[in-house]
Amino acid sequence: MEDKFTTKAYLEMELLRFTTAGSVDDGKSTLIGRLLYDSKSIFEDQLEAVKRASIRKGNEVINLALLTDGLRAEREQGITIDVAYRYFATPKRKFIIADTPGHVQYTRNMVTGASTANAALILIDARNGVTEQTYRHSYIASLLQIPHLIICVNKMDLMHYNEEVYEKIKHDFGAFAAKLDVKDIQFVPISALNGDNVVEKLDNMPWYEGGTLRYILENIYVASDHNHIDPRFPVQYVIRPISKKYHDYRGYAGRVAGGVFHKGEKVMVLPSGFITTLEAIDFDESEINEAFPPMSVTFRLSDDLDISRGDMIVRENNVPETGQDIEVMMCWMSDKPLVPGMKYYLRHTTAEVRAMIKEIVYKVNVNTLEHVPDGKELRMNEIGLVRLRTTKPLYYDSYRRNRTTGSIILIEEGTFNTVGVGMIV
């Protein structure tokens, strides 16, 4: 029996969330299928179902895309409509893949998949080299502050495993990458179809000295992806048992969004600005000494203060920015364009306020990264710098500094749809 599923080993596993982006026909489904299959995460009944469906559709080979296309409409039309989440584990790590479709509403879907990812896999077809879509996908990964980019140069088999082809793509991408804001970029030449450098090295590319894709995924350094510097605790829910045993208990439940909180230290509560002591950190039935992201815990404070959902607990000498006039990089997700003067509900951590759009400063051409001055409107799948004003002050950090306290969503009045998502600059 494989020892990897003993609980001790299982407990030492880390979680890596990654997103995959590619254009139509660049072999993304094949690659995901291979990662899942080679890690034994595809089961016989799933494979049988895909085989049956492939034959019925008249496909000559097993169409692994059918494995990821979960909706009837997707299978019928042969397209992927929405982000699908996939899971697999190796003895070292547990993986969550946000598989985002390459064509329909690409920006909306990719931004969604990227929002929770530590790493992005970007596929390049070795025959086509770096294309506009490569730029677009990389830009979105950079905008969403995904710390690690893995550029998979796929279909190397169709280019005779030629090193120069790979080097040229690396070089072309490097020129563009200088404009991006990404901490870590790695390249790997692969053939998803044959399996070269996906899980095993095989013999076709002796010139490649790096690790396989799976090795890279298992070894990316994720421990520093959270902000451990600026203590931020958005209050989510107030726990008051009103029972005999816990008559005076008042706990502030939430998930640590940044920094490390220590029992007994001085903390500041926003918006009131009161300074108090973090008396205890409760988790389940026990007390703990420290809390760090992404832990869900309950804080008890030594003073009785008026604190409710949407407030934030921070440290006196490290407070977030405060303000009602906010600039965000906005990605628009609705058929109805964003225009200055419109009002929306705005959600930021656990707070909700209303917001009015003041100005569209510029739009970004996601293929060239050029700023296009166009103040009229931001349409579906467009990205631009937007100024807005909120009814009440927000306590925020720049998205670059903290992905939790630096992100917002806009909700349309009337339909209550989520229409826009923003990263505070």
Which residues from 206-235 bind another protein, rule CB under 8 A? 221, 223-224, 226, 228
Q: Which residue has the tokens 């607990």?
A: 313
Burial class (CB in 10 A: 0-12, 13-18, 19+), 350: middle
Q: Is the peptide bond before 234 cis (omega within 30 degrees of 0)?
A: no
391, 355 in Cβ contact below 8 A?
Answer: yes
Q: Any contact of residue 404 with another protein (CB under 8 A)?
A: yes
Q: Which one-letter DSSP state was computed for residue 42?
A: S
Q: Any contact of residue 425 with another protein (CB under 8 A)?
A: no
Widest pairwise Cα distance in the chain: 76
Q: Any contact of residue 67 with another protein (CB under 8 A)?
A: yes
337, 377 in Cβ contact below 8 A?
Answer: yes
Structure tokens at 87: 């899971």
Structure tokens at 344: 């929306």
Residue type, 225: D
* DSSP string over 322-368: EEEEEEEEEEE-SSSPB-TT-EEEEEETTEEEEEEEEEEEEEE-TTT
Q: Minimal distance in Å, beta carbon 220 to another protein?
A: 12
Q: Which stretch in 26-34, 124-132, 171-179, 290-298 sits in contact with another protein by CB under 8 A?
A: 290-298
Please give the residues from 347 up to 366 whose contact with another protein meets the rule CB under 8 A.
347-350
Q: Any contact of residue 294 with another protein (CB under 8 A)?
A: yes
How far from chain centre, in Å, is Cα 254?
A: 20
Q: Are strands 184-189 and 148-154 parallel, antiparallel or unpaired?
A: parallel
Q: Any contact of residue 265 with another protein (CB under 8 A)?
A: no
Closest CB to another protein among residues 104, 158: 104
Residue selected from 203, 285, 304, 306 as contacting another protein according to rule CB under 8 A:
285
Q: Any contact of residue 11 with another protein (CB under 8 A)?
A: yes
Q: Which stretch in 9-17, 171-179, 314-322, 383-391 sits in contact with another protein by CB under 8 A?
A: 9-17
248, 237 in Cβ contact below 8 A?
Answer: no
Q: Minimal distance in Å, beta carbon 286 to another protein?
A: 10
Residue selected from 51, 262, 263, 309 as contacting another protein according to rule CB under 8 A:
309
Q: Which stretch in 127-135, 154-162, 180-188, 294-302 sits in contact with another protein by CB under 8 A?
A: 294-302
Q: Minimal distance in Å, beta carbon 252 to another protein?
A: 11
Please give the residues from 149 up to 178 whose contact with another protein meets the rule CB under 8 A.
none
